[in-house]
Amino acid sequence: MRNGFYTLRTADGEVALVDGGTVRVQQSFYFPPDHNRYPNHFKGSEIIIKERGLWPTQGFLPAACEKACFENRTNLHCCCRKILFYEEDFVNQKSQLQEYIESQGHLCDYYPKFHCELNFIEQYWGVGKYGYRRTPRTSSMQEMRGNVKACLDNVPLNQIRRFANRSARFIHAYSEGLTGAQAAWANRSYHGHRTLPPEMIHAALAAFKK
């Protein structure tokens, strides 16, 4: 875990202003190497929150609420987990994968969740799993791995390219304002290039008009 930061606050919990602006304080999440009890150990949520001036002066904070509390935005200080969840450094923290991709000069753009039609790898993986279900039962992990690799390798390259084109057409359809049902209808009706022609977009919109 990398170090974090927080906005300096006064003793009563208000944001401190210095020369008309806020002050960002760097915070280490680990004890220093020369700590008398826990050298290089993780501080834990309680100490991290106390250093930020967010620990209640009276009472106790549980590590996490027993029930899901994130839907309740009126109380952001019910547990340690929720306090840190809404802190600026936690909110804006990128994943390790995204940081690595961007450090190599690339863009990291995620597919929306639960939209496998936008990711042709999911379709390729589905064909591979279908082939694997038809293979004989295996008696060892090594044999199973070999069958998985063989099933994936057996998917023709042209079929993978068709999956990529299909996903590209869905992405284009959504960018043109089509709904999921309209995009699926357009994809069934047109199997050409990676984008849908304008007349197909209009046809999909007209087909679902009531």
The fraction of the chain above a pLDDT of 90, given in percent, is 41
HEC per residue, the chain: CCCEEEECECCCCCECEECCEECEEEECCECCCCCCCCCCCECCHHHHHHHCCCCCCCCCCCCCCCCCCCCCCCCCCCCHHHHHHCCHHHHCCCCHHHHHHHHCCCCCCCCCCCCHHHCHHHHHHHHHHHHHHCCCCCCCHHHHHHHHHHHHHCCCHHHHHHHHHHHHHHHHHHHCCCCHHHHHHHHHHCCCCCCCCHHHHHHHHHHCCC
Instruction: Please report the pLDDT score of residue 39 as a whole number.
Output: 94
Residue 38 has pLDDT above 90, yes or no: yes
Across the chain, mean pLDDT equals: 87
Residue 210 has pLDDT above 70, yes or no: no
201-209 — which CB contacts under 8 Å span 24+ positions? 201/173, 201/176, 204/173, 204/178, 205/178, 207/182, 208/179, 208/181, 208/182
Residue 99 has pLDDT above 80, yes or no: yes
Mind listing the pLDDT tens digit for each residue in 144-194?
A: 999 999 999 999 999 999 999 999 999 989 988 888 898 888 888 887 777
Question: Does the pTM of the predicted model rise above 0.75?
Answer: no
Residue 1 has pLDDT above 70, yes or no: no
- Dist. CA 85–CA 44, nearest whole Å: 14
Tokens linked to 204: 């999909």
